[in-house]
Structure 1
Amino acid sequence: MAEPVLNPTTQTEYALLWLPKPLEQIPVAVYGVNDETGAFKSSDSVQTLSRAVTQGATPILIKALHDAGDRSWFTVIEREKLDNLLKERQIILEMRQRYLGESAKDSHALPALLFAGILIEGAITGYDTNTQTGGAGAQYLGIGASTQYREDAVSVYLRAVSVKTGEVLLSVSTEQRVASVAWQGNAFKYVAYRELLEAEAGITLNQPRHLAVRQALEKAVYGLVVQGAKTGLWEFADKADGETAIRFFDENYKSDFSKDAMKGVPKEFLDAAKGNAAKR
């Protein structure tokens, strides 16, 4: 039996950890990341009620916010399990009142809870299967091999909301591919008179869906930091390092217009859209 291991550090997590430090840390609250896809896990044989994507995206987002700038960007305040926190605080106050004689008015056992100026809200909004499929194979004198691949896609949205005004300050969307690859080899050949050799072997590798959700959320947090810096919502402590982080985001995470998707759209509309995107 294999021993348990820590989750591997992804490229997107390394990028978050590398983010330059902010001018000041930002307190944020996360209430939850919902699965709004309505998609169930695909099965070729029986009906399944298992969800296609993880239902535990909120802890993944909280970790991604902590990873930003190696815990320098955001102070994350607990809100998803707030009832548990309030119950525990109430137990502490009651026990101190009962056994230490403290009054609720004069007790200094617990300081006031932190509050956030910004809410981070998100959702997994899409899970598309078989967005790209294909394969190849060859056979010679009864011996052959083949390979097949398939891609799914997970879409994630994040937004930053001002607690003071309710205004949506930033909105970021990301998409992450989920790849599956299968290799197969076979032999069908006479090795002697009336002796037929039949052999088949294969292996399939499936990228974990929760890893795709994790990478999509990490990209979204990176995008949230970059978009906020571009709009002046917050600033990098070192402007030169900040420009490097923005350039990395634009070169690696920001996709360009697809020629196929934009086919038939008037050129002047495309030029205007690209100009607005460049300003953002």
Structure 2
Amino acid sequence: MTLPATLVADTKTGVILDKLPPPLQALDVAVYSFPDLTGQNKPNDNFAEFSRATTQGGASILTDVLVKAGRGRWFNVTERNELTALLQERQIIQNTRTAVEGDKSQALPPLRFAGVMLQGGIIGYDSNETTGGIGANYLGIGGNAQYRQDIVTVALRAVSVQTGRVLASVTTTKTIYSVLVNGTAFKFAAVDHLLQAEAGFTKNSPTTLAVREGVQLAVYSLIFEGVRNKLWKFKNIEAGEAFLRALEEQRRAVDFVVTEPGVPDSAAPAIVTTKG
């Protein structure tokens, strides 16, 4: 039995970002890359892993988040991650037009340029930041639960194309939980014959989803850093201030939100720090 493909689940931060009030004017932004700068491989206690701990598609995640921010009203995202392929396709179109229509063929319109470049990347992956567990056994029947907490860190900054000045910079963290629960039971079925049974399961929060929520919170915070520094404005100032107050409340909250170990919360809110 196979499960059907589904769209990526909405996160709490993503829902809030989608409801952002529209800006006075949409921002033209470019994303060239958003790399994994951690150099970390997947943690494994038994053997060396060569697979990366975090996604290598950061630029695609950031682009998708930007396109959907505020129901698509906040950013005009120009394609730069695959610029070579885009220029090659434009050249093919222009050559075909010239071959069919001659020198009077109509030229393609110029590419849209961006006033702001968004740069940064996944800058940290701290595995086994917290580990723990609990267990008990009585008369051959028992069970135990273990959990592990990893932290992924994302950095994002807005850079002015005209001056090269860093307009705003934010850093966010997202906690990833892994939980192992198992139980055992044994009894003597006969003399010198021991019957033993075991059962268990492991639950891991998706790393890619954690990176996505970290990026969503970074974009959300970057918008408000720009509003605070008067770089861009909300169309409805009062509505924007309501969202700004909510962000300030989150900054004053506890640094890390710890859910009950037995019930991991993949949508636990990320934490943000900013630099204006």
Q: Classify 1:228/1:183 alpha carbon distance in 2 versus 1 (closer, same or farther; 3 Å).
A: same
* TM-score with structure 2 setting the length: 0.88
Shift of 1:97: 0.7
Residue matched to 1:250: 248
Residue matched to 1:19: 20
Shift of 1:45: 2.8
Runs of 4 or more consecutive aligned structure 1 residues displaced over 4 Å after TM superposition: 191-195, 253-258, 277-280
Residue matched to 2:94: 93
1:206-258 per-residue CA deviation (whole Å, 9 max, x = no partner) reads 11111111111011000101111111111111122111211222233665679
In structure 1, how many angstroms separate the alpha carbons of the residues matched to 2:100 and 2:274?
Answer: 64
Tell me the percent identity. 46
Alignment check: 8 A CA contact 1:127 1:154 kept: yes
Residue matched to 2:70: 69
3-state SS of the aligned residue for 1:22? coil
* Ranges in structure 1 where 5+ consecutive residues have no aligned partner: 259-276
Looking at CA atoms only, which structure, 1 or 2, has the larger radius of gyration?
Answer: 1
Shift of 1:67: 1.7
Alignment check: 8 A CA contact 2:97 2:106 kept: no
Kindly tell me the number of residue pairs found equivalent between the two proteins: 259
Match of 2:112 among 114, 122, 131: 114
In structure 2, how many angstroms separate the alpha carbons of the residues matched to 1:218 and 1:134?
Answer: 30
In structure 2, how many angstroms separate the alpha carbons of the residues matched to 1:278 and 1:55?
Answer: 24
Residue matched to 1:136: 134
3-state SS of the aligned residue for 2:239? helix
Q: Classify 1:278/1:162 alpha carbon distance in 2 versus 1 (closer, same or farther; 3 Å).
A: closer
In structure 2, how many angstroms separate the alpha carbons of the residues matched to 1:122 and 1:241?
Answer: 29
In structure 2, how many angstroms separate the alpha carbons of the residues matched to 1:279 and 1:54?
Answer: 25
3-state SS of the aligned residue for 1:101? helix
Alignment check: 8 A CA contact 2:144 2:183 kept: yes
* Ranges in structure 2 where 5+ consecutive residues have no aligned partner: 257-272
* TM-score with structure 1 setting the length: 0.87
In structure 1, how many angstroms separate the alpha carbons of the residues matched to 2:30 and 2:114?
Answer: 6
Q: Which amino acid aligns with 2:145?
A: T
| Coordinate RMSD, CA, aligned | 2.1
Shift of 1:39: 0.7
In structure 1, how many angstroms separate the alpha carbons of the residues matched to 2:127 and 2:275?
Answer: 34
